[in-house]
Structure 1
């Protein structure tokens, strides 16, 4: 299983360092010196991390064979991809990889079925579930403790307590999975390379 762990940003200085946008909650594991990462586009890699440091709140990496600003700038916008055992789980029991959350049915605490998670959107402030309803419309559910009451992987569902206005008055009775019964089943979770998601706290 492939896991996107970072996106390379601008070159920093003249010795080959680059800024990176971290997309993993385990940067010390995925982005440590010696890590060998695949890339998107594939022709850019694989890349081996030679060193890393934090500067002004940003992670800077240097890759083997990249020793100047020109080489570093050529890597800009490249995605760094780690190969992860699909059975591996995050250390924190309240964290989840995206592939664990994809296709979960979303239901309210009183049993009203809302739809199915089709995408996880990772924003700077919080993560969002993109939930597809049976009629094809979508609703965005913030993955925060105040709204997502439970992730039940065994029952393949996420239980939410939506505030007024988050879920409109068109209560959905049938789950997305039921609607697709007999039509090929659930869509695979491989459409998106996963990363770690965790329930945050609602922005004040």
Structure 2
């Protein structure tokens, strides 16, 4: 399994799922802090990559956020994995997490072009969440930077600004409104 994870890492195919919190109890249980909008990605028997190697989920209680890994059997061992990030692959995420219509994985939105009234404003290079709201971090198109506009800006991922995500194009195109104003006032 370790070879598969290394290949996925080399292809930039890993997605963060959760961060391991403090140990709880004496059997090696830990708190998990979700880094995903899909708690269903944490399933018994799933193996996740971490900075110290593979960890297989023995069980996870979503209400209490308590998890136990097959490889961790004591409070001392659990303390050693605190703050580790658990990763899965993009393909495994798509397989286990079913999206509703007009929902997208963050990794599918990154790289999209931001277009407003036919003008390319830039490209999404990251997505950040502040106070429960997602924001697209956009690298401004070079032609607009040449006009002395900021090199980057943020767009709230809400219906007020995002009109449509055209997933049929590669890269995806996100049609927006009011975002040029955001850029000009950044």
TM over 0.5: yes
| Alpha-carbon separation, structure 1, partners of 2:109 and 2:69 | 32
Q: Which has the higher contact order (CA 8 A, sep 6+)?
A: 1
Counterpart residue number, 1:152: 166
| RMSD, matched Cα | 2.5
Asked whether 1:12 is paired with 2:24, we answer: yes
**For this pair of structures, how many residues does the alignment match?**
163
TM-score (norm. length: structure 1): 0.70
5+ residue gaps, structure 1: 171-204
Q: 1:104 aligns with which of 100, 112, 125?
A: 112
Task: List, as ranges, runs of 4+ consecutive aligned residues in structure 1 with deviation greater than 3 Å.
Answer: 86-90
Secondary structure class of the residue paired with 1:76: coil
5+ residue gaps, structure 2: 1-12
CA deviation digits over 1:155-178, x for unaligned, max 9? 3211112279523169xxxxxxxx
Larger helix share, 1 or 2:
2
TM-score (norm. length: structure 2): 0.76
CA deviation digits over 1:139-168, x for unaligned, max 9? 011112222111112232111122795231
Counterpart residue number, 2:182: 166
Q: Counterparts of 1:181-200 in structure 2 under 5 Å? A: none
